[in-house]
């Protein structure tokens, strides 16, 4: 039965498939996405499973596809998104796909290789061209120097020229290495080599890494063969490329011309290679997405096939799956479609298997409820068929958020944001962004929508809109009666800074409270916080205790469903007694005090907190704190004693009863009479029935039903029950106090809002005249940015977190055990979109 | 001539959001100042001489109205900002359709 109140019924089924039909059937089940496969070969290594070869082939294809994707993206070609309704191809199609992909890969790699060699050639030729140009400059300069110094005495160059022939080496080196190269050359040749270098302006591209390189040309003059060898070795060491440079100017010119023509030809060929590569990649880009989907689906099917067992006759595959009961028909139909697709004649057989294993928890959600189910599951996935907190969370979570956030102005801005996300859902979903923060906000759009609507409501109750109150109905307080009937006068107005409106004076307070929310006059009162703190604290306590009592009632529903009468009598009833008699009484006192005291007797109103503390101490002799009502002492004593009785009731009785049950069932097993055996069998049947209807659903009943001959550890039981009692009783007190964070955060929000208005907006509004105009214009922008950053984002996240904590800890520890595991069906949609692991 | 498109698409979107919020909020604030709302009294720039009035509280009311006119004109300025941001968005959208 599908509903969000508890998780769905899930059966363990065995499916017998013919080996030929297995692939197609599993592909159909993957398209359906409703079935979770169990691993029947958990002990087997990944490399020893049956279909490991096929998986390997799929992975090889994936590798080729990734390589193609890389190449396509570096070239900036856009990969077309095709409709991803490609079915998984049958195994014989896989061979064709493999062939196509391998051919593409080979072609692309060959093109890349050729391109690299040609680029290398191009690089060398360009460098040579520059080198020739530079050396031409060098030689001309040298010749000019020689001519000039010909007339002077003792020019070194002349001496060198007369002494012997100068040899030279010309080449190109990376700019970073130049300085070290020069220094090493100087040292190694003991200053006997003369080097000139100049920068190459053109930036060249390294063919392998495709990075731009900056190089310098150099020319080294030396004398002698040994020096030449030394210099050559140094050049090799620094990876400088040496080019043969002819000595005479004519030869140089010829070489330059030859190099230029070769460069032109090479550029032409490179261009054509580039276009060819581009064409190949564009062809591939058209089909890339559909190939990827097909390969991913194939790999997923083979992984799933690996999870199945082959039976003895080698004819048939056995798969164990968890199927939700409601979808059995759909699954059967999918299996039939698969069998017909594969052309096999034998229909697959699906049988339900009884098991003691606890099934996974399956909550069917749609796009609205998925957000709330996610935040519940984030703390712990519920046990099988346990009460699901999610449907209540849909309302209580935004409500508790709104209690802490309450401001209608901020709520409206948040509503605008949420509406934009919800109304443009389809476009925003199609964009598939990678930004995790955006994805988190977007997947919670319905949460934000509800949170903002509730915030606008609580904003009206707190009468707070950007920290100003809105006077819709007219305030119930009047100032003029204070002059007419009361004690105010002109002199009082001149002399005091604050004045107090006294509601005891007739006419000041009209007697009818403001119809909805807090009276707007409190907004301009200096003692606003005294009033609102008292109100908000008491309200938080009342809301908290109500929430917790609701949680305890949900635990009753759990006990009823799992037919755990013991828990109802021994756990639920004492829990209710404890919380009602102590904290329910606190709520009563709060509401009683609100109703029964007015301005005329408020100075005699007792403090509830002192009364509550004295209740526990049985201390009724404090005269400064009068009683709230007559017979208060008797009623309170009765309630405390009643609550104290509930504690040992919760603590002691259950372990003994469970032990008695265990002993009785053991005696039944050992009884030799047939009557005894029949009773025993009836008892066994009864308890196995009980066990199959509540696998893993309740707490504390471990030794209770599962142990015909099993272990029953009394010590464990007792300690467990002890922990539960202490946790519950002390938890009631601490959790009630924990709900005071509702007050704390709403106070913080209101104060931040007021500070922002007073320090930012006030400056704009209170500068009079026409200069104020421009100031308002600019200041509003600042105010808006700060409001969004501080009050919406920071306070919003803070309130979200605290509301979530209140749900996870204070509410759920009353009834939720959350130790189940989630139902993850084998679904192609989930795998292709990257949500599930293949 | 300087290109008319001077801010990116995200800046234009922020501009539109800010202007819509500004227009609505400033118009509402202008209305509330115009009806002399008591809650906003601390934002009105009054001095001592406002209280020496022959016909109270007309001077105070005048001050209220001045602030409200300021708010309305600021809202009008935001209309211009909003219009300009909207034009920038349109230009961006048109650019996306053009072949580069």
Nearest CB neighbour to A520, from listed B39, B70, B74: B39
Nearest CA in chain B to A413: B21
Element (H, E) at A204: strand A204-205
pLDDT at A101 over 50: yes
Going by the DSSP 8-state scheme, the letter that residue A485 receives in this structure is: T
Phi, psi for A794 (deg, rounded to 5): -70, -50
Confidence at residue A815, expressed as pLDDT on a 0 to 100 scale:
92
Nearest CA in chain A to B37: A471
Stretch among A698-702, A719-723, B38-42 having the lowest mean pLDDT: A698-702
CA distance A775 to A766: 10
pLDDT per residue as tens digits for the range B48-90: 888 887 887 888 898 899 899 999 999 999 999 999 999 999 9
Burial B62-74 (b: 16+ CB within 10 A, else e): ebbebbbbbbbbb
Q: What value does the mean pLDDT take over residues A623-627?
A: 84
Listing DSSP states for B27-92 in one string gives HHHHHHHHTT-GGGGGGS---GGGGS-SSTTHHHHHHHHHHHHHHHHHHHHHHHHHHHHHHHHHHH
Q: Which of B21, B40, B77 is the best residue to mutate to test the A interface, defined by the most A CB atoms within 10 Å of its own CB? A: B21
Max avg pLDDT among A337-341, A539-543, A691-695: A539-543
Confidence at residue A684, expressed as pLDDT on a 0 to 100 scale:
43
| Region at A372 (left for phi over 0; alpha for psi -120 to 50; beta for the rest) | alpha
Q: Which residues contact A351 (CB under 8 A, 6 or more apart)?
A: A13, A14, A16
**In this prediction, does ipTM exceed 0.90?**
yes
Nearest CA in chain B to A757: B43
pLDDT at A157 over 70: no
- pLDDT over 90, % of chain A: 40
Contact list in A for residue B23 (CB cut-off 8 A) is: none
B35 Cβ under 8 Å from any chain A Cβ: no
Confidence at residue A710, expressed as pLDDT on a 0 to 100 scale:
57
Q: Helix, strand, coil proportions of chain A in percent (round to 5)?
A: 65, 10, 25
Confidence at residue A648, expressed as pLDDT on a 0 to 100 scale:
92
- Contact (CB<8Å) B67/A773: no
pLDDT at A480 over 60: yes
Confidence at residue A626, expressed as pLDDT on a 0 to 100 scale:
83
What confidence category does residue A143 fall into, taking pLDDT thresholds of 50, 70 and 90? low
Q: Which of B34, B43, B44, B78 is the best residue to mutate to test the A interface, defined by the most A CB atoms within 10 Å of its own CB? A: B43
Contact list in A for residue B25 (CB cut-off 8 A) is: 409, 466, 780
Q: What value does the mean pLDDT take over residues A217-237?
A: 87
Listing DSSP states for A45-110 in one string gives -GGGSTTHHHHHHHHHHHHHHHHHHHHHHHTTPPPP---S-PPPPPHHHHHHHHHHHHHHHHHHHH
Stretch among A643-652, A778-787, B44-53 having the lowest mean pLDDT: B44-53
CB atoms within 10 A of CB A748: 15
Instruction: Please state, rounded to an integer, the average pLDDT across all residues of chain A.
Output: 86
Nearest CA in chain A to B19: A781
**Is residue A541 a contact partner of residue A587, using CB atoms and an 8 Å limit?**
yes
Stretch among A34-48, A77-91, A559-573 having the lowest mean pLDDT: A77-91
CA distance A57 to A294: 13
CA distance A107 to A273: 12
Phi, psi for A456 (deg, rounded to 5): -65, -40
What confidence category does residue A177 fall into, taking pLDDT thresholds of 50, 70 and 90? confident
Nearest CB neighbour to B21, from listed A413, A520, A773: A413
Q: What value does the mean pLDDT take over residues A614-629?
A: 87
Nearest CA in chain A to B74: A777
Contact list in A for residue B74 (CB cut-off 8 A) is: 773, 776-777, 780
pLDDT per residue as tens digits for the range A656-697: 999 998 899 989 888 765 444 444 444 444 444 444 444 333
Contact list in A for residue B22 (CB cut-off 8 A) is: 780-781, 784
CA distance A216 to A179: 11
Confidence at residue A1, expressed as pLDDT on a 0 to 100 scale:
43
Stretch among A367-376, A662-671, A744-753 having the lowest mean pLDDT: A662-671
* Preceding omega of A784 cis (within 30 degrees of 0): no
Contact list in A for residue B68 (CB cut-off 8 A) is: none
Nearest CB neighbour to A765, from listed B37, B67, B78: B67
User: Of A134, A813, A799, which is closest to residue A447 (Cα–Cα)?
Assistant: A799
B9 Cβ under 8 Å from any chain A Cβ: no
pLDDT per residue as tens digits for the range A34-51: 999 988 888 878 788 888
What confidence category does residue A615 fall into, taking pLDDT thresholds of 50, 70 and 90? very high
Q: Which residues contact A509 (CB under 8 A, 6 or more apart)?
A: A476, A477, A478, A501, A503, A599
Confidence at residue A381, expressed as pLDDT on a 0 to 100 scale:
92
- Contact (CB<8Å) A784/B71: no
C-alpha distances in Å from residue A392, one per residue of A4, A7, A244, A699: 10, 14, 85, 22
**Is residue A367 a contact partner of residue A444, using CB atoms and an 8 Å limit?**
no
- Contact (CB<8Å) B74/A773: yes
Cα angle, residue A498 at apex, residues A494 and A500 outer, rounded to 5°: 110
Element (H, E) at A494: helix A490-495
Q: In this structure, what is the dihedral angle of CA atoms A437, B14, A450, A383, given to the nearest 10 degrees?
A: -10
Confidence at residue A544, expressed as pLDDT on a 0 to 100 scale:
96
Confidence at residue A694, expressed as pLDDT on a 0 to 100 scale:
40
In the stretch 56-85 of chain B, residues with CB closer than 8 A to chain A read 63, 66-67, 70-71, 73-74, 77-78
- Contact (CB<8Å) A761/B25: no
Q: What value does the mean pLDDT take over residues A6-16?
A: 90
pLDDT at A499 over 70: yes
Q: Residues in chain B, how many?
A: 100
Q: Which of A498, A521, A772, A788 is the best residue to mutate to test the B interface, defined by the most B CB atoms within 10 Å of its own CB? A: A772
- Contact (CB<8Å) B45/A777: no
pLDDT per residue as tens digits for the range A117-128: 998 888 888 888
pLDDT at A153 over 90: no
- Contact (CB<8Å) B39/A772: no
**Is residue A318 a contact partner of residue A14, using CB atoms and an 8 Å limit?**
yes
CA distance A306 to A21: 15
Confidence at residue A612, expressed as pLDDT on a 0 to 100 scale:
92
CB atoms within 10 A of CB A111: 17
Cα angle, residue A794 at apex, residues A789 and A797 outer, rounded to 5°: 135
pLDDT at B1 over 80: no
Nearest CB neighbour to B21, from listed A520, A768, A784: A784
pLDDT at A838 over 80: no
Stretch among A70-74, A242-246, A619-623, A832-836 having the lowest mean pLDDT: A832-836
**Is residue A180 a contact partner of residue A237, using CB atoms and an 8 Å limit?**
no
Nearest CB neighbour to B74, from listed A409, A471, A776: A776
Phi, psi for A12 (deg, rounded to 5): -90, 125
**Is residue A88 a contact partner of residue A301, using CB atoms and an 8 Å limit?**
yes
Burial A433-467 (b: 16+ CB within 10 A, else e): eeeeeeeeebebbbbbbbbbebbbbbbbebbbbbb
């Amino acid at each position: 039965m599908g509903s969000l109140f508890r998780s769905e019924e899930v059966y363990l089924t065995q499916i017998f498939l013919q080996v030929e039909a297995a692939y197609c059937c599993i592909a159909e089940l993957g398209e359906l996405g409703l079935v979770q496969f169990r691993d029947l070969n958990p002990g087997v290594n990944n490399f020893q499973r049956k279909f490991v070869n096929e998986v390997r082939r799929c992975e090889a294809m994936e590798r080729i596809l990734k390589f193609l994707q890389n190449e396509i993206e570096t070239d900036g070609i856009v990969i077309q998104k095709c409709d991803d309704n490609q079915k998984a191809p049958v195994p014989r199609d896989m061979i064709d796909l493999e062939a196509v992909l391998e051919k593409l890969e080979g072609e692309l790699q060959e093109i890349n290789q050729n391109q690299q060699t040609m680029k290398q050639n191009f690089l060398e030729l360009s460098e040579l061209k520059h080198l020739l140009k530079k050396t031409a400059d060098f030689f001309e300069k040298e010749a000019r120097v020689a001519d000039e110094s010909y007339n002077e005495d003792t020019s070194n160059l002349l001496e060198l020229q007369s002494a012997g022939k100068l040899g030279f080496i010309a080449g190109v080196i990376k700019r970073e290495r130049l300085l070290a190269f020069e220094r090493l050359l100087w040292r190694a040749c003991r200053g006997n080599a003369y080097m000139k270098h100049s920068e190459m302006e053109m930036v060249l591209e390294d063919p392998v890494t495709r990075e731009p390189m900056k190089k310098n040309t150099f020319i080294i003059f030396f004398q002698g063969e040994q020096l030449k060898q030394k210099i050559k070795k140094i050049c090799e060491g620094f990876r400088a490329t040496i080019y043969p440079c002819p000595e005479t100017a004519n030869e140089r010119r010829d070489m330059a011309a030859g190099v230029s023509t070769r460069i032109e030809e090479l550029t032409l060929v490179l261009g054509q290679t580039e276009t060819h590569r581009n064409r190949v990649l564009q062809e591939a880009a058209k089909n890339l997405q559909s190939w990827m989907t097909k390969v991913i689906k194939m790999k997923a099917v083979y992984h799933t096939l690996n999870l199945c067992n082959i039976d003895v006759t080698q004819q048939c595959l056995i798969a164990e799956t968890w199927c939700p009961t409601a979808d059995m028909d759909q699954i059967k139909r999918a299996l039939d479609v698969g069998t017909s697709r594969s052309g096999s004649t034998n229909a697959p057989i699906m049988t339900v298997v009884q098991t003691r294993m606890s099934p996974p928890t399956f909550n069917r959600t749609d796009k609205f409820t998925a957000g709330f189910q996610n935040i519940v599951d984030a703390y712990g996935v519920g046990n099988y068929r346990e009460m699901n907190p999610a449907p209540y969370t849909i309302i209580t979570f935004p409500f508790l958020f709104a209690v802490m956030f309450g401001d209608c102005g901020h709520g409206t801005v948040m509503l605008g944001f949420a509406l934009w996300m919800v109304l443009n859902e389809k476009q925003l979903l199609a964009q598939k962004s990678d930004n995790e923060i955006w994805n988190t906000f977007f997947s919670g759009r319905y949460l934000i929508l509800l949170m903002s609507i509730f915030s606008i409501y609580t904003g009206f109750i707190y009468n707070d809109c950007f920290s100003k109150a809105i006077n819709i109905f007219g305030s119930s307080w009047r100032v003029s009666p204070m002059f007419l009937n009361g004690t105010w006068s002109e002199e009082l107005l001149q002399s005091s800074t604050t004045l107090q409106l006294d509601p005891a004076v007739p006419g000041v307070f009209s007697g009818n409270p403001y119809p909805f929310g807090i009276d707007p006059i409190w907004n301009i009162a200096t003692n606003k916080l005294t009033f609102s703190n008292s109100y908000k604290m008491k309200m938080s306590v009342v809301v908290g205790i109500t929430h917790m009592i609701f949680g305890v009632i949900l635990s009753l529903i759990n006990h009823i469903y799992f037919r755990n009468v013991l828990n109802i009598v021994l756990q639920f009833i004492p829990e209710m007694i404890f919380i009602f008699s102590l904290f329910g009484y606190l709520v009563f006192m709060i509401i009683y005090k609100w109703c029964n005291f007015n301005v005329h007797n408020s100075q005699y109103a007792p403090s509830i907190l002192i009364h509550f503390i004295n209740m526990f101490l049985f201390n009724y002799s404090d005269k400064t704190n009068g009683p709230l009502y007559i017979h208060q002492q008797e009623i309170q004593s009765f309630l405390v004693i009643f609550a104290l009785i509930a504690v040992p009731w919760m603590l002691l009785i259950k372990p003994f009863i469970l032990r008695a049950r265990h002993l009785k069932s053991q005696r039944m097993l050992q009884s030799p009479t047939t009557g005894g055996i029949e009773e025993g069998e009836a008892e066994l049947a009864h308890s196995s029935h009980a066990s199959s209807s509540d696998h893993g659903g309740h707490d504390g009943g471990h030794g209770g039903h599962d142990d015909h001959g099993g272990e029953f550890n009394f010590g464990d039981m007792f300690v467990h029950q002890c922990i539960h009692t202490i946790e519950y009783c002390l938890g009631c007190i601490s959790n009630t106090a924990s709900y005071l964070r509702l007050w704390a955060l709403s106070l913080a929000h209101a104060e931040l809002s007021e500070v922002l208005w007073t320090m930012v907006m006030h400056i704009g509004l209170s500068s009079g005249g026409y200069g104020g105009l421009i100031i308002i214009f600019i200041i509003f922008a600042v105010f808006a940015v700060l409001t969004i950053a501080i009050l919406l984002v920071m306070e919003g996240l803070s309130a979200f977190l605290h509301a979530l904590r209140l749900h996870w800890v204070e509410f759920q520890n009353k009834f939720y055990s959350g130790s189940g595991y989630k139902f993850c069906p084998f679904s192609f949609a989930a795998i292709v979109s990257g949500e599930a692991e293949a | 001539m300087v290109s008319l498109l001077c801010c990116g698409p995200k800046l234009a979107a922020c501009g539109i959001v800010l202007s819509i919020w500004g227009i609505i909020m400033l118009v509402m604030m202008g209305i509330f100042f115009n009806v002399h709302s008591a809650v906003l009294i601390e934002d009105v720039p009054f001095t001592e001489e406002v209280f020496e009035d022959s016909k109270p509280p007309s001077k105070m009311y005048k001050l209220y109205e001045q602030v409200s006119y300021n708010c309305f004109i600021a809202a009008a300025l935001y209309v211009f900002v909003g219009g300009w941001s909207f034009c920038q968005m349109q230009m961006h959208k048109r650019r996306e359709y053009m072949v580069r």
